[in-house]
């Protein structure tokens, strides 16, 4: 079973190649506690780095924006290295990603915090986005645990295709905005609202495949260090979901 999250997919494939049956090579098999602990540490680092860059923004907005750019690019590169460079399960790769992505999230949030959108304070939108992200995460965990939605190979294949399509559209929109001042997917209009809604739904569904992949690794007795890879995969989805919810809230307030 493949996951829609490339980090989680690489994690499973490598564990299968290096540890058939996940037998004696691992000093200790991965547990739910390992996943919870490593994910908590990863999110903690993201929050601290985000808070630091957010605070820097109050003193030097230019520096915060520069660090946001560095964080976004660095986080993307780190995920690619972790996914395809045999670095999954590495605490260093996961924590480096957390620092980069924290800088990005802090700068991204600062942009909204210092704006009055549709008469609403930006900080209120950030709080709503955080609550919304936590709510979606808990909701999808309940959906997975109750089996309300089954994670099948067909489900995963469709989800991967949809996410790939969204990624291509986002890249095309970015290039259009950069070179032609054409930004229909991020300009706050009706199409931008629809696009963010689609991204939120896909991010939420990605949690199901992430949970399923983590569950399979635990039941198969994967090495405990692979919990760092699970944490990275979940963090990627959480950050994506948060940024899209915050964008959507800002669009709705403007309209």
Point out which residues pair with 29 in neighbouring strands.
223
pLDDT of residue 182: 87
- Report percent pLDDT > 90 for the chain: 65
pLDDT of residue 253: 80
Nearest to 207 by CA among 161, 245, 241: 241
The answer on pLDDT for 22 being more than 70 is no
CA angle 87/88/91 to nearest 5° reads 85
Tokens for 218, please give them.
């635990």
- Residue 30: CB atoms within 10 Å: 27
Q: Do residues 113 and 123 lie in contact, with contact meaning Cβ atoms separated by under 8 Å? A: yes
Pairing of strands 116-117, 120-121: antiparallel
pLDDT of residue 38: 95
Give tens-digit pLDDT for 154-171.
Answer: 999 999 999 999 999 999
Q: Do residues 137 and 84 lie in contact, with contact meaning Cβ atoms separated by under 8 Å? A: no
The answer on pLDDT for 6 being more than 90 is no
pLDDT of residue 179: 87
Give tens-digit pLDDT for 181-230.
Answer: 888 888 888 999 999 999 999 999 999 999 999 999 999 888 988 999 99
CA angle 218/209/245 to nearest 5° reads 125
The answer on pLDDT for 27 being more than 80 is no
Q: Is 74 left (phi over 0), alpha (psi -120 to 50) or beta?
A: alpha
pLDDT of residue 134: 96
Chain-wide mean pLDDT for the chain? Answer: 87
pLDDT of residue 120: 58
Which DSSP string do the residues of the chain spell out, in sequence order?
Answer: ---SSHHHHHHHHHHHHHSGGG-TTSSSB--HHHHHHHHHHHHHHHHHHHHHHHHHHHH-HHHHHHHHHHHHHHHHHHHHHHHHTT-TT-HHHHHHHHHHHHHHHHHHHHHHHT-EETTEEHHHHHHHHHHHHHHHHHHHHHHHHHTSS---HHHHHHHHHHHHHHHHHHHHHHHHHHHH---TTSSSSHHHHHHHHHHHHHHHHHHHHHHHHHHHHHHHT-BGGGHHHHHHHHHHHHHHHHHHHHHHHHHHHH-
23 confidence band (pLDDT: 50, 70, 90): very low
Considering the entire predicted model, what is its pTM?
A: 0.85
89 confidence band (pLDDT: 50, 70, 90): confident
Q: Do residues 145 and 215 lie in contact, with contact meaning Cβ atoms separated by under 8 Å? A: no
């Amino acid at each position: 079973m493949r996951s829609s999250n490339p980090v989680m997919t690489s994690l499973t494939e490598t564990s299968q190649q290096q540890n058939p049956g996940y037998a004696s090579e691992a000093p200790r098999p991965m547990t739910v506690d390992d996943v919870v602990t490593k994910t908590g540490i990863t999110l903690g680092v993201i929050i601290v780095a985000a808070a630091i860059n957010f605070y820097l923004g109050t003193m030097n907005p230019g520096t915060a924006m520069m660090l946001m750019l560095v964080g976004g690019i660095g986080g993307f590169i780190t995920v690619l290295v972790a996914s395809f460079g045999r670095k999954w399960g590495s605490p260093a790769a996961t924590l480096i990603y957390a620092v980069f992505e924290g800088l990005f999230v802090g700068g991204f949030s600062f942009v909204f915090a210092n704006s009055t959108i549709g008469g609403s304070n930006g900080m209120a939108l950030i709080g709503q986005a955080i609550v919304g992200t936590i709510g979606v995460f808990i909701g999808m965990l309940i959906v997975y645990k109750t089996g309300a939605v089954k994670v099948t190979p067909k489900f995963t294949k469709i989800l991967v295709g949809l996410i790939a399509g969204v990624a291509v559209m986002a890249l095309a929109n970015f290039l259009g905005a950069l070179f032609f001042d054409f930004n229909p997917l991020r300009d706050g209009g009706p199409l931008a609202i629809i696009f963010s809604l689609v991204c939120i739904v896909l991010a939420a569904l990605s949690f199901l495949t992430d949970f399923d992949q983590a569950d399979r690794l635990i039941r198969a007795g994967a090495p405990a260090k692979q919990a760092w890879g699970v944490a990275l995969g979940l963090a990627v989805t959480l950050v994506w979901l948060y940024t899209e919810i915050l964008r959507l809230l800002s669009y709705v307030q403007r309209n």
